[in-house]
Amino acid sequence: MSAEIIDGKKLAAQFRAELKEKVAKLTAEGTVPGLAVILVGDNPASRSYVTAKEKACAEIGIYSSDNRLPENTTQDELLALIERLNNDDKIHGILVQLPLPKHIDEDKVLLAIRPEKDVDGFHPVNVGKMVIGQDAFLPCTPHGVVQMLLRNGVKLDGANVVVVGRSNIVGKPLANLLIQKAATGNATVTLCHTHTKDLAHFTRQADIVIAAAGRPNTITADMIREGAVVIDVGVNRVEADTPKGYKLVGDVDFDGVKEKASLLTPVPGGVGPMTITMLLFNTVQAADNFAHSKK
């Protein structure tokens, strides 16, 4: 079998076109959705993520406020900025680009964002609501993966899913979303990590394998069953003979797995574009909630 390759860019473009219409409607009604992006320091990867997020906002008519702060910004200065943005009616979503410099307590910063503006879905209030199945801002990458599966007609109800990786931003929330008693869940999920004994034993039984380990070749063809759906969340830089000296690869051995899977995401161009799209989705939702709370 040769897998159908999921085009994350195309799917993201469809989503963004739908969101653009919602933004136009909200704007006509007097609320221009607004996202504040905060970047502390000069990490090149973070800088490019922030630039991509702001560009994506502009493309669909979301106002974005760019807050780039020097590396030596104090925690109190950052908290004061968040407080100002919490109280700014033009701003409906606040995103703090992680990681933060070592002298700043990330947990404290995420807790300072009002849950109604937490469009990354990292505030414990939103995490808790997601776990108990209440309306919440869902974390962007896991939400993007679920939407990608659904929009490609993958049946989640009753599916055996293996998620590889248990981070708070990808693996854990993804597993949580997939077990919810809802049309977007109802799967049977096994969550694997570095202490899992015999990872392949679990992945070989899965209808859907989702790799979020941050390590190239974590999933190889011998680890999946014929016809499985394989989603590759990983983004890893490996040395390559390119002008930049590296290329990006996922966690899945793409060439090997594509001969056995039924559906597969590439890296780049798979999950990545969906992650930013879900940030736009949450920002539009936050603006919509704000507009309706005023009435």
Ligand X SMILES: NC(=O)c1ccc[n+]([C@@H]2O[C@H](COP(=O)([O-])OP(=O)(O)OC[C@H]3O[C@@H](n4cnc5c(N)ncnc54)[C@H](OP(=O)(O)O)[C@@H]3O)[C@@H](O)[C@H]2O)c1
Which residues bind to ligand X, rule: CB under 6 A?
141, 164-167, 169-171, 192-196, 199, 212-215, 218, 233-236, 271-272, 275
- Smallest distance, ligand X to C-beta of residue 54, A: 16
Q: Which is nearer to ligand X, 9 or 114 (CB)?
A: 9
Told to judge if 197 belongs to the known catalytic residues of this protein, a careful annotator would answer no
Minimum distance of ligand X from residue 268's CB (angstroms): 8
CA distance 232 to 219: 9
Query: 22, 53, 117, 258: which is the annotated catalytic residue?
Result: 53
Q: Return the number of other C-beta atoms located less than 10 Å from residue 290's C-beta.
A: 19
Query: Between 116 and 120, whose beta carbon lies closer to ligand X?
Result: 120
CA pseudo-torsion sign 175, 180, 184, 186 = positive
Which is closer to ligand X, CB of 84 or CB of 193?
193
Name the residue number minimizing CB distance to ligand X.
167
Catalytic residue among 22, 117, 118, 120: 120
Strand arrangement, sheet containing 160-164: 4-5, 263-264, 229-232, 208-211, 160-164, 188-192
E strand segments, 32-175: 34-40, 63-69, 93-96, 160-164
Give min distance, CB of 294 to ligand X, in A.
Answer: 33
Nearest distance from C-beta of residue 29 to ligand X, angstroms: 31
The yes-or-no answer on residue 105 being catalytic is no
Identify whether the C-beta of residue 219 lies closer than 8 Å to the C-beta of residue 199: no
Known catalytic membership, residue 53: yes
Nearest 10 degrees: CA dihedral of 14, 20, 21, 22?
Answer: 110
Please list the active-site residues: 53, 97, 120
